[in-house]
Amino acid sequence: MDTAPTTTQGPDEPDDPETAAAAPPAAGNDRFSTVQSSAEFGELRRAQRSFAFPLTIAFVSWYLLYVLLSNYAGDFMGTTVVGNVNVAFVFGLAQFLTTFLIAWWYSRHAAAKLDPRAEALRARLEAGE
Amino acid sequence: MTGMTSALQSGLPLAAGAASEHRTLIITLFSVFVAATLAITVWAGRQTKDATDFYAGGRSFTGFQNGLAISGDYMSAASFLGIAGAISLFGYDGFLYSIGFLVAWLVALLLVAEPLRNSGRFTMADALAYRLKQRPVRTAAGTSTIVVSIFYLLAQMIGAGALVALLLGASGEGSRRWIIGLVGLVMVLYVTIGGMKGTTWVQIVKAVLLILGTMLITVLVLNKVGWNISTLLGRAAEESGKGKAFLEPGLQYGKDGTTKLNFISLGLALVLGTAGLPHILIRFYTVPTAKAARKSVNWAIGIIGAFYLMTIALGFGAAALVGSKSITASDPSGNTAAPLLAREVGGGAGSTGGAVLLAVISAVAFATILAVVAGLTLASSASFAHDLWANVIRKGKTSEKEELLTAKIAAVVIGAIAIALSIFAHRLNAAAVVALAFAVAASANLPTILYSLFWKRFTTQGALWSIYGGLISSVGLVIFSPVVSGNEKALFPGMSFDYFPLGNPGLVSIPLGFLLGWLGSLLSKPQPEADAKYAELEVRSLTGYGAH
């Protein structure tokens, strides 16, 4: 009987500093700094940034390449591929294709590498570690 | 009297002739849509009790529902009327809009949607002000939210104006005001009664209608050309009178060095604008988790991508089957190309099939405009009430009731602004005007969003420099651009203060926004508790801990 109240009190307690932290962050913030410098959080951050940042640079460059080619390589873009379909058209459709592929790829990455780590950390925070 | 009516009838342009005979049908279809969506709104209004319901639809939507709603919020008059018009007149150059509007979603997916969902509650400023000084940052973000939304609203009213002119012809000036007023009224009702829940359902219904309508036209166009894209392109090139050049880049932007820079400017604004659009960003708050936000963006990419692929059929179809002469005769910027195409594939002017399809597609276009306008009104009135009123003017001392009342009053005011803007709703292409909203969003909002989420050293001064710098430079450059004055197609064709040569300011204002955010941060001292605040934001945004 004695253990029951303590276990219910456990998860309740961290709620207090949490709601207090929402207004003037005081002691509650230390928890975030501790989590932020933990190895697990470092892994989560790395998994997110090392995927999203290079990929963003890649697709923006790929898109700008298309914009620049349209501007300064008109002859090349006008080259016939088949019938009335030219390189410019194929380039445009390729942008659609890569967008769909990147969205799909990111979702797979997030489900495998980000979600489990985020969930574990969140559970730890919620348990008031 | 009889003399006057006959004069009016003979004065009706071709475009209006066939349409006006079937005006009843158009009005019926549109009334059904308005009645149905208002019923949904009233139903949603009954379930809207607190601020979370009003601003974020109770966070009760699924990823798929929100994906549809995002699509409905995003595919505006610019996408439907503007892109079809731009492609039908300028061929391949118009297709840049479709590509840029789609690729832009990756920025939102990879960098913004999930952390924003985890760290904000109701408005864009919630996430931006998280680790910075609340009041100045909210003021800045709230201001830029309203400015971006007004640019976007202008584009929608241009679309509405073009449609009304097409359907009612020159005789319709009185009816035009009446209809625009009605659009304004309905949208205010959606927002004030239904809040985010009502607005979301309106956007879902609209997205479904728009996709179905576009699919129908696409099928009919492809059927006419024997399901051969190459034939379609060939006929479009032939009818355009420009030949092969119609299918190559450069027709609109290839003239000289300046127009080429304008193309880059536009391209940059399109790809970086989406993730800074307030009315899109607040949609991420309508789902319960970051995972659901990701799912909704994925659905949106699929739906929006499919739609933009079909703009090929709409645009080149209009060029091939309607012809640029009839298109520019109806609207000089091509905004009515899609409905004209609908009439053509339905059997042509004067045929029943043509009139029915024109009516259906026009009703879909009106629905499109209404849903987007409602989303914009909600975003800007929410930002006014939640950021400017509750947190800045009243310093957080308002009751929730007062804040929501303020939001509703703001929605009415913004509705009035939209109606007033419709006076200027001529001559410009809706997609080009939306691209300006994208440029402002990419210059004023995106740098602060990214810095705030990912850069530890970012400071309040950096945010203010970036938001105000991006806002003032982008809007300022638009004012001094050829869009506003100096030529026949400008807003004020009679004046000329077009000192800045580019039609889109993105090339200058976007890098400036990023530069100012960086410089402003480095030239200021971080607040004493900055590290701890960033730790909190970073942990919350990545883990979803404590997300509302």
Asked if B121 and B359 touch (Cβ cutoff 8 Å), the reply is: no
Q: Is pLDDT at B28 greater than 50 in this prediction?
A: yes
CB contact under 8 A, A56 and B267: no
Phi, psi (rounded to 5 degrees) for B352: -65, -45
The pLDDT of residue B159? 86
The pLDDT of residue A2? 37
Strands (E), B153-217: none
Prediction pTM value: 0.91
Q: Where are the alpha helices (DSSP H) in B455-548?
A: 460-479, 506-522, 530-543
Q: Does B544 touch chain A (CB under 8 A)?
A: yes
Model confidence over B216-238: pLDDT tens digits? 999 999 999 999 999 999 999 99
The pLDDT of residue B454? 96
A118-129: average pLDDT? 90
Round to whole Å and give the CA distance between B519 and B48: 44
Q: Which of A1-5, B134-138, B442-446 has the lowest mean pLDDT?
A: A1-5
Q: Is pLDDT at B519 greater than 50 in this prediction?
A: yes
Q: b vs e for B22-55, b when ≥16 Cβ sit within 10 Å of the residue's Cβ?
A: bbebbeebbeebbeebbebbeebbeebeebbbbb
Residue B276 structure tokens: 């800074």
The pLDDT of residue B544? 95
Q: Which residue has the higher pLDDT, B178 or B460?
A: B460
CB contact under 8 A, A96 and B305: yes
pLDDT over 70 percentage in chain A: 77
Instruction: State which amino acid sits at residue B491.
Output: L
pLDDT over 70 percentage in chain B: 94
Nearest residue in A to B101, CA atom: A96
Model confidence over A50-62: pLDDT tens digits? 999 999 999 999 9
Q: Is the dihedral of CA B282, B285, B291, B293 positive or negative?
A: negative
Please name the residue that has the structure tokens 């995927």. Answer: A51
Q: Are residues A6 and A59 in the same domain?
A: no
Q: Are residues A44 and A104 in the same domain?
A: yes
B457-484: average pLDDT? 96
CB contact under 8 A, B234 and A83: yes
Q: Are residues A86 and A57 in the same domain?
A: yes
Q: Are residues A44 and A33 in the same domain?
A: no
Nearest residue in B to A124, CA atom: B545
Please give the torsion angle defined by the CA atoms of residues B329, B488, B74 and B298, in that order, rounded to the nearest 10 degrees.
90
The pLDDT of residue B426? 65
Asked if B263 and B253 touch (Cβ cutoff 8 Å), the reply is: yes
Q: Does A107 touch chain B (CB under 8 A)?
A: yes
- Strand partners of residue B492: B485
User: Of B296, B289, B293, which is closest to residue B540 (Cα–Cα)?
Assistant: B289
The pLDDT of residue B515? 98
Q: Taking every pair of C-alpha atoms in chain A, what is the biggest distance, in angstroms?
A: 83
Model confidence over B362-372: pLDDT tens digits? 989 988 999 99
Phi, psi (rounded to 5 degrees) for A42: -55, -40
The pLDDT of residue B372? 94
The pLDDT of residue B172? 62
Q: Are residues A45 and A72 in the same domain?
A: yes
Please name the residue that has the structure tokens 């960033």. Answer: B534
One of 1.20.1730.10, 1.10.3720.10, 3.40.1000.10, 1.20.1090.10 is the CATH number of B16-384+399-423, namely: 1.20.1730.10
User: Of B356, B354, B334, which is closest to residue B345 (Cα–Cα)?
Assistant: B354
Average pLDDT, chain B: 90
Burial of B6 (0-12, 13-18, 19+ CB in 10 A): exposed
Instruction: State which amino acid sits at residue B126.
Output: D
Residue numbers in B near A115 (CB within 8 A):
291
- Look at residue A85 and give its three-state secondary structure: strand
CB contact under 8 A, B267 and A64: yes
From chain A residues 68-97, the ones with a CB under 8 A of any chain B CB are: 68, 70-72, 74, 77-78, 82-86, 88-89, 92, 95-96
Q: Tell me whether strands A80-82 and A85-86 are parallel, antiparallel or unpaired.
A: antiparallel
Number of domains in chain A: 2
Round to whole Å and give the CA distance between A24 and A33: 16
Residue numbers in A near B538 (CB within 8 A):
32, 36, 45
Q: Are residues A72 and A12 in the same domain?
A: no
CB contact under 8 A, B96 and A64: no
Mutate: best of B112, B248, B527, partner A, most A CBs <10 A: B248
Q: Where are the alpha helices (DSSP H) in B57-112?
A: 63-74, 77, 83-90, 92-107
Round to whole Å and give the CA distance between B225 and B242: 20
Q: Is pLDDT at B3 greater than 60 in this prediction?
A: no
Instruction: State which amino acid sits at residue B306.
Output: A
Round to whole Å and give the CA distance between B131 and B535: 9
Could you tell me the residue ranges of all domains in chain B?
16-384+399-423
CB contact under 8 A, A29 and B95: no
B44-70: average pLDDT? 95
From chain B residues 469-498, the ones with a CB under 8 A of any chain A CB are: none
Residue numbers in A near B454 (CB within 8 A):
49
DSSP assignment, residue B488? T
Model confidence over B167-176: pLDDT tens digits? 776 556 677 7
Asked if B57 and B394 touch (Cβ cutoff 8 Å), the reply is: no
- Closest Cβ opposite residue B247 in set A29, A48, A86: A86
Q: Is pLDDT at A19 greater than 50 in this prediction?
A: no
Q: Does A125 touch chain B (CB under 8 A)?
A: yes
- Look at residue A80 and give its three-state secondary structure: strand
Round to whole Å and give the CA distance between B237 and B255: 19
- Look at residue B348 and give its three-state secondary structure: coil
Q: Are residues A54 and A30 in the same domain?
A: no
- CA angle B296/B217/A77 to nearest 5° reads 80
The pLDDT of residue A10? 33
Residue B11 structure tokens: 């004065």
The pLDDT of residue B222? 97
Q: Which residue has the higher pLDDT, B477 or B16?
A: B477
Model confidence over B447-462: pLDDT tens digits? 999 999 999 999 999 9
Q: Residue A12: pLDDT band by 50, 70, 90 thresholds?
A: very low
CB contact under 8 A, A89 and B92: yes
- Strand partners of residue A85: A82
Full residue range of the structural domain in which residue A21 is found? 1-37
Phi, psi (rounded to 5 degrees) for A86: -110, 180
Residue numbers in B near A74 (CB within 8 A):
248-250, 254
Round to whole Å and give the CA distance between B411 and B417: 10
Q: Which residue has the higher pLDDT, B510 or B349?
A: B510
CA-to-CA separations, B111 to A99, A116, B513, in angstroms, rounded: 15, 19, 18
- Look at residue A81 and give its three-state secondary structure: strand
Asked if A57 and B240 touch (Cβ cutoff 8 Å), the reply is: no
Phi, psi (rounded to 5 degrees) for B13: -70, 160
Q: Does A58 touch chain B (CB under 8 A)?
A: no
Count of CA atoms in the C-beta half-sphere (13 A) of B466: 33
Round to whole Å and give the CA distance between B211 and B215: 6
CB contact under 8 A, B263 and A89: no
pLDDT over 90 percentage in chain B: 74
Q: Is pLDDT at B160 greater than 50 in this prediction?
A: yes
Q: Are residues A60 and A28 in the same domain?
A: no
Residue by residue, what is the 3-state secondary structure of B363-403? HHHHHHHHHHHHHHHHHHHHHHHHHHHHHHHCCCCCCHHHH
CB contact under 8 A, A63 and B263: no
Q: Are residues A32 and A89 in the same domain?
A: no
- CA angle B147/B152/B155 to nearest 5° reads 135
| Shortest CA gap B251–chain A (Å) | 10
At B446, which helix (H) or strand (E)? helix B446-454
Model confidence over B352-400: pLDDT tens digits? 899 899 989 998 998 899 999 999 999 999 999 999 999 999 998 889 9
